[in-house]
Structure 1
Amino acid sequence: MEGLLLPLLLMLVLAVPLIMGTRKQKKAAAQQQELQSSLAPGDRVMTTSGLYATVADATDESTIDLEIADGVVTTWLRQAIRERIDPAAADDVEDEDSADEDTADESATATSDADSDSESVTTAQVAEPLEHKK
C-alpha cells in the first residue's frame, strides 16, 4: 500500500494544474465566443491585429463588416475581433492626444517667435542640378 502512495501523490500533483489550466482556457474561449456573437452595429472594436474600427454590419454568422474610416468598410472573420472598446475610454485617449497636439503647437509657436527675434538668419544652400550626358 505504501508503495502506491508516492506514485498516486505524484500523479495528483501533476494532474491538478493541468485540469485547472484547461478550465481557464474553456472559460476564456466561452467569453470570446459570447463577445463575438453579441456584436452589434455601432460597437467600437479592436481586431487581433490591433486595428480599431466600428461595426457596420453584423448579420452574417461567420463574417463582420467593420468601418475603419469614414466610408471605408472592410469584411473580417468574426474570430478576428479581439475585444470591444469602451467608448468612454476611447474618448479619454482622444482627449489626451488633442492635449499633446496643443502643447506641441504652443512650443512650435514659441520657437518660431524666438527665431524671428534673432538678427542673424541663415539660409540653406542648394546645389545646382547635375547635368546628365545623353
Structure 2
Amino acid sequence: MQVIRDNYGASRFDAYVDGEVAASLQYKIQDGEMWLLEIKEDRWHRGLGLGEPLVRRALAEAHRRRLRVLPFCSEARQQVFGHPVFLQLVPQEQRSRFHKSWALEGKSRAARRRRRVPAAAVRASAGSKAGSR
C-alpha cells in the first residue's frame, strides 16, 4: 500500500510503500510559488510509478494553498501539460518557458523509443510490407 505525505520540514513529498520512503518529490516554496524540483526514487522501488501520484499530490496542495507552480521536474511538466486543469497553476508568463522544455523532452522520448527498435526488425517489417503488395 502506498501513502503520500508532505514532509514539510524537509520540503518534499514522500511516497511510502510498506512503511518505507520509496520516492520523494523535492520542492521549494518562495514568493507564493511552489517550485517542483526533482523526484528521487529508492532503487528498490523504481518502476512502481510513484512519480505521478507524488506530483498530483503536490499540485493539489499548491492549489489548496493558492500557490503558483513552477514545474522544473520533468515528471511535473508532463503532468501539468498533459492535464489542462493543472496548467492553471502555472503563471501565464511562465507557461511557454516550461512548455518548450516539455515539448523537447517529448521529442527526446520519441527518439529513444525509435532507437530501441533493432534496425533488422525495421528492415524485415519493411520487406514484408513490400512483399504483400
- What is the TM-score when the length of structure 2 is the normalising length? 0.27
- What is the TM-score when the length of structure 1 is the normalising length? 0.27
Between structure 1 and structure 2, the one with the greater Rg is 1
Larger fraction in strand: 2
